[in-house]
Amino acid sequence: MTSTAAAASSSTIGRYRWVVCGLLFFATTINYIDRNALSVLKTTLQADLGWSDVDYGWITFAFTVAYAAFPSITGRVIDRWGVKKSLAAALILWSLMAAAHGLVGTVLGFVLVRFFLGVAEAANFPASIKAVAMWFPQKERAFATGLFNSGTNVGVILSFVTVWLATTFGWQAAFVAIGAIGLVWLVFWQRSFFAPEDHPRLSRDELQYIQAGQPPAQEVLRLPWTQLLRYRQIWPFLIGKLITDPV
């Protein structure tokens, strides 16, 4: 098939699934803006609140523990509630927790909001991966996953906005502002995300294209964690996450 024919075919099928991917990209970007706000404002917060490096360590530890412990739990919730409700609830919670950074002034207060920020943000990747599986044929999933995952780097790059907000309006206002961004995203999510078969604006051709590209149904096997650890393939993933997630 020529590139012209491929483009025409894609236009005929429809491209709404990429709108969904865009929503996941922006959710991931917001996720990383919110989590990185503390680190880019560390010097300011230590000066204003008198934190020691030990205090800052406990605050960051709270987020890391929650973010490491809760993906499996949030994954179960996503399977039960569905992607739309689960990611909406998670983003509401992490946006409120991001904004709450500007309303607390003690080390304990920051420990608590960082912990619950980690709990909520742990839902982003399980929900996004499941959304990609729902909305994309198998041959497009790797690209779609890479596209929304690039929001992690974009979020880090855009952290300069947090610094500008803090310099211009104060660090409290900066936290409240970045928390509010997520609530704006929520409006588009609620209006635009449904299961493909229930979507009011998805064309029949694109729905058939998505469904035709799904892998055949397989029997679900439930394995204990100890048995999973016997697979060599899982160890590179675990080691990679152990090294990179705290960063």
- Domain positions in the chain: 14-214
Taking each continuous run of H as one helix and of E as one strand, the counts in the chain are 15, 0
Q: Are 98 and 155 in contact (CB under 8 A)?
A: no
Joined tokens for residue 115 = 């912990």
Between CA 181 and CA 155 the distance in angstroms is: 12
229: helix, strand or coil: coil
175 closest CA partner among 82, 95, 72: 95
* pLDDT(237) > 90: no
- What pLDDT does residue 8 have? 38
- What pLDDT does residue 2 have? 47
User: What mean pLDDT comes out for the span 79-83?
Assistant: 95
Using one digit for the tens of pLDDT, what is the confidence trace for 13-67? 789 999 999 999 999 999 999 999 999 999 999 999 999 999 999 999 999 999 9
* pLDDT(7) > 80: no
Quote the distance between the C-alpha of residue 193 and its chain's center: 15
**Is the model more confident about 213 or about 50?**
50
Q: Are 41 and 174 in contact (CB under 8 A)?
A: yes
* pLDDT(124) > 90: yes
**Burial, 228: exposed, middle or buried (Cβ in 10 Å; 0-12, 13-18, 19+)?**
exposed
* pLDDT(72) > 70: yes
- What pLDDT does residue 5 have? 38
Quote the distance between the C-alpha of residue 150 and its chain's center: 11
Q: What band does 245 get if pLDDT is binned at 50, 70 and 90?
A: low
* pLDDT(3) > 60: no
Burial 173-207 (b: 16+ CB within 10 A, else e): ebbbbbbebbeebbeebeeebbebeebeebeeebb
Tell me the fold of 14-214. Answer: Growth Hormone; Chain: A; (1.20.1250)
The vertex-127 CA angle with 184 and 12, nearest 5°, equals 80
Determine the residue type at 74. T
